[in-house]
Structure 1
Amino acid sequence: MHRRALAALLTLAVWPPRDAAAQGRPVLRVTGTFAGVPGREAVFDLPRLEGLGTVPLVTRTAWTGSAPQHFSGVPLARVLEAVRAEGDSLRAVALNDYAVTLPVEDATRHGAILATRHDGVPMRVRDRGPIWLLYPWTERPELDTPVFRERAIWQLAQIHVG
């Protein structure tokens, strides 16, 4: 098979595609019970996700060195509110199928955000994007624990509300 044809087939098989942010393709799927109806799904491309309203986050992370980093993204609580999600826990799944489970209170009480930009630039897959679930560790040092660091899933692609 010709290399270009093979590359095109592989691109179709990857969700979301590596250049999802640039092309307006889906970057996040949220599934679960919405407004009392089980089995629902909402799909967000980057403009739709960021259209929910972004907030800045300046924080240190265990993965980006000791200097505070400048991120922006959508508060996780705002995404759950937008789809009218109902449930007590979230299962977050990355592009490589790595998954973590976290309580909804991480969104409502602990200020988790879905970071989509680092230094104002959309995050690429190779840079932990297109979405990285982050916490305000510098602002709230009590969250800077192994439990919350383990929940900071990058290359986030799906959230299931359960």
Structure 2
Amino acid sequence: MRRRSLVLIPLLAALPVQAQPQRGRVILRVTGRITGAERSFDLAELEALGLEALRTRTTWTGADTLHFSGVPLARLLRAVGAQGDQLRATALNDYAVNLPREDADRHGAFLATRQDGVPLRVRDRGPIWLIYPWSARPDLDRSVYRDRAIWQLRHIDVS
């Protein structure tokens, strides 16, 4: 019997193993009143929710219209089953802003992850920059919305 066991070991080693996709570095956590437990996303998982384009100018980058890609905040909130009306967004340096869910649903808040097709780096306000469609919606080009445009976003808590 012992001899058979030894013969099977090399055969088992030759069987193909299903490779699991490598997960990238987590760039966003979502907690609070959501369906299930805390959710975390790497760049690929976040963008898999449906990458869209947004062209807008920003107060911080000059008068030129920039080409961003990312995910509408409303889409992320639907994906995690968000049930609250308030969001607390926190940056890498622990700076935080509060914003109503209405900013996602009615005002087009957008989680920019790329500029000109290139992932945003921390030095470029990334990996996630919450922005608004200021060029398309001049009514949003006010301090209240500019103050909510948090960069280096890492965590959203739904309440």
Structures share fold, TM-score greater than 0.5: yes
Q: Which one has the largest radius of gyration?
A: 2
Looking at structure 2, the residues matched to 71 and 150 of structure 1 have their Cα atoms a distance apart, in angstroms, of 19
Q: For the residues of structure 2 that align with 1:130 and 1:61, how far apart are their CA atoms?
A: 17
1:75 maps onto 2:72 in alignment: yes
Q: Residue 99 of structure 2 corresponds to which residue in structure 1? A: 102
CA RMSD of aligned residues (A): 1.0
Partner amino acid for 2:28? Answer: L
Query: What is the letter of the counterpart of residue 115 of structure 1?
Result: A
Partner amino acid, structure 1, of 2:44? P
Structure 2 partner of 1:6? none
The 5 A counterparts of 1:1-162 are 24-35=24-35, 40-162=37-159
TM-score between both structures, scaled by the size of structure 1: 0.83
Deviation at 1:54, TM superposition (A): 1.2
Q: Tell me the SS of whatever aligns to 2:74.
A: helix
| Structure 1 unmatched ranges of 5 or more | 1-22
Deviations 1:58-109 (A, max 9, x none): 0010001101000010000000000101101000000000000000000000
Q: Which amino acid aligns with 1:32?
A: G
Identity %: 66
The structure with the largest strand share of the pair is: 1
Give the Cα–Cα distance (whole angstroms) in 1 for the partners of residues 155 and 101 of structure 2: 15
Quick one: distance in 2 between partners of 1:33 and 1:90? 10
Q: TM-score, length-normalised on structure 2?
A: 0.84
- Structure 2 residues without counterparts, runs of 5 or longer: 1-22
Q: How far, CA to CA, are the matches of 1:158 and 1:26 in structure 2?
A: 10
Residue of structure 2 in register with 1:18 after alignment: none
Q: Provide the secondary structure at the position in 2 that maps to 1:85.
A: coil
Q: 2:87, 2:153 → 1: CA distance?
A: 12
SS at the partner of 1:34? coil
Whole-Å Cα distance in 2 between the matches of residues 130 and 143 of structure 1? 23
Letter in 2 for 1:102: L
How far 1:24 moved relative to its partner?
A: 1.5
